[in-house]
Structure 1
């Protein structure tokens, strides 16, 4: 009987040991399985695969760990360029240039503009991205293109400065340095394909080719609201300047502008009719006409 009791005790002890080992093995198995599940839920993301701002919190599970390198994150995009198409805003920047660097006589201080051409660059940048719209009036378009021509001529000189004459530049009026909208343009296109087609002969006394015999560069931008007055004043001033025209009742010594663009001054009568509108002298219809030599020296 005593031996039987010892045998039962031995069997029970062995069974308890086996159960304990089984329980421990089960717990270890669960622990390993849990670790595997956690590892399965860990997602390592490199900077090349995802940017922080692209992580959608709605799809990130609560057990998911996202590892992101925080160095060299992409910079935020630049703000879009201004789409302000206010016609009045064109004039302020150009006025700063003209009033600071152009004398009352139309002499241009190119060296000073070249030292600080920020205003000019901003102005050209702005007008090149804000072209006239179909809804603009004729005067609005004229003012825009006259100002553009003069600003681009200054820019052309600065690109080659110091020079003695615009003619020192190869094909100066055909250089395509400026992109307006989707097209590269030159000074000839502005003058002949745009401005001259608008049937306003007085533009010839507003656009300036950076030369002594050209009309003087006005030191104020042209504006649509005041354009007629500005063009009239520029025309009268040019005709009264004896360095550019010598006019009497029966004899005319004129700028070659009137020779090169003769047909532009015959849209409302003949040349004498045009001149009599803007001169104090009453020119006779039989006045003898000749043309002065053109001085291409730089207007500085």
Structure 2
């Protein structure tokens, strides 16, 4: 995936929310001051957010989440010792509304509860969330969101080309994490081990059948394979600043 725009100087005067979210993430990556971008996002009107189409909205909230997580762990590192507090803390203000990482991920990107393996709706979503959330959950977000844990995928800045960019992110993360042993397990069906997020958000993926379909789409299992699905553990060791350009 090419992110040539990341190498351009971000304009802090940008009024387009998606452009500002990208500039924020690029500034975080470079270790620069991002106060101008944070202030710009906070000052944006909700009308400006309304102008985003669904693909732009998806890219916008992905960028906001990844930038906010990096900033939160840098500004308040002690919070990371309590994941409940870390994900619930105010992390970024957008259009005058303070948002936590949970608000962005589960409210604006997923529209579902963080509990219940992806099958439960959000209870009493706020008006801001109802107005600005992505129309439907895209399971590929789980291969793009980075909460500063070692098991998280690497960070990239998303754009209007978010569909292709998410395909790329998904392929990279699955290639790094999926393990398939066609000879393991009962009845000769094999065993495939997949990332923990496929269990935590089972419903987002369409259950086991959906996980297998995703693996077939990425040629990680054969068209006729129906392996037993098992899940890797999750390494919560803090890892900050892991951007896609840092991969070798």
| TM-score when normalising by structure 2 | 0.69
**1:261-272 map, 5 Å:** 261-266=201-206, 270-272=210-212
CA contact 1:175–1:186 (8 Å) conserved in 2: yes
Residues 1:118 and 2:53 are matched in the alignment: no
Mapped pair 1:288 → 2:215:
no
Flag the 1:284–1:156 CA change in 2: closer, same or farther, 3 A.
Answer: farther
Equivalent residue number for residue 115 of structure 2: none
1:254 and 1:290 in contact (8 A); partners too:
yes
Does the residue aligned with 1:144 lie in a helix, a strand or coil? Answer: helix
Check 1:259–1:170 CA distance in 2 against 1; reply closer, same or farther (3 A cut): closer
Deviations 1:208-236 (A, max 9, x none): 11111111223xx1001x21111001000
8 Å contact 2:41–2:95 — kept in the other structure? no
Q: Secondary structure of the residue that 2:155 maps to in structure 1?
A: coil
CA contact (8 A) 1:173 1:188 kept: yes
- Counterpart pick for 2:144 among 188, 206, 213: 206
Q: Which residue of 2 aligns with 1:95?
A: 26
Tell me, yes or no, if the aligned pair for 2:87 and 2:102 is still in contact at 8 Å. Answer: yes
CA distance in 2, matches of 1:258, 1:142: 20
1:216 pairs with 2:121:
no
Structure 1 residue 149 and structure 2 residue 45: aligned?
Answer: no
The answer to whether the aligner puts 1:183 opposite 2:97 as a matched pair is yes
Superposed displacement of residue 202, structure 1: 0.6
Contact persistence 2:146–2:155 (CA under 8 A): yes
The residue that corresponds to 2:56 in the other structure is: 140
2:244 maps to which residue? none
Task: Please identify runs of 4+ aligned residues in structure 1 that moved more than 4 A.
Answer: none
Query: How far apart are the structure 1 equivalents of 2:20 and 2:96?
Result: 22
Q: After alignment, is 126-135 or 255-264 more displaced?
A: 126-135
Residue by residue over 1:225-262, the C-alpha shift from the partner in whole angstroms, topping out at 9 and shown as x without a partner, is x2111100100011111xx3323453211111000000
Structure showing greater relative contact order (alpha-carbon pairs closer than 8 Å, 6 or more residues apart): 2
Contact 2:149 2:239 in 1 (8 A): yes
SS of the aligned residue for 2:90 comes to: coil
Query: For this pair of structures, how many residues does the alignment match?
Result: 196
Matched, 1:246 2:184: no
**In 2, Cα distance between the equivalents of 1:276 and 1:189?**
32
**Higher mean C-alpha displacement, 122-131 vs 228-237:** 122-131
* Rg comparison, structure with higher value: 1
* 1:295 alignment partner, SS class: coil
CA distance in 2 between counterparts of 1:96 and 1:176 reads 20
Counterpart in 1 of 2:74?
158
What CA deviation, in whole Å up to 9, does each residue of 1:45-90 have, x standing for no partner? xxxxxxxxxxxxxxxxxxxxxxxxxxxxxxxxxxxx9783364344
C-alpha distance in 1 between matches for 2:83 and 2:205: 29
Q: What is the SS of the residue equivalent to 2:221?
A: coil
Q: Is the 8 A contact 2:17 2:49 kept in 1?
A: no
Distance in 2 (alpha carbons) for counterparts of 1:201 and 1:144? 16
Q: Pick closer, same or farther for the CA change 1:180–1:89 going to 2, 3 Å.
A: closer
SS in 2 for 1:155: helix
Contact 1:90-1:126 within 8 A present in 2 as well: no
Q: Distance in 1 between matches of 2:101 and 2:223?
A: 34
* Pairs within 5 Å for 1:59-74: none
Query: Pairwise CA RMSD of aligned residues?
Result: 2.8
Secondary structure of 1:133's counterpart equals: helix
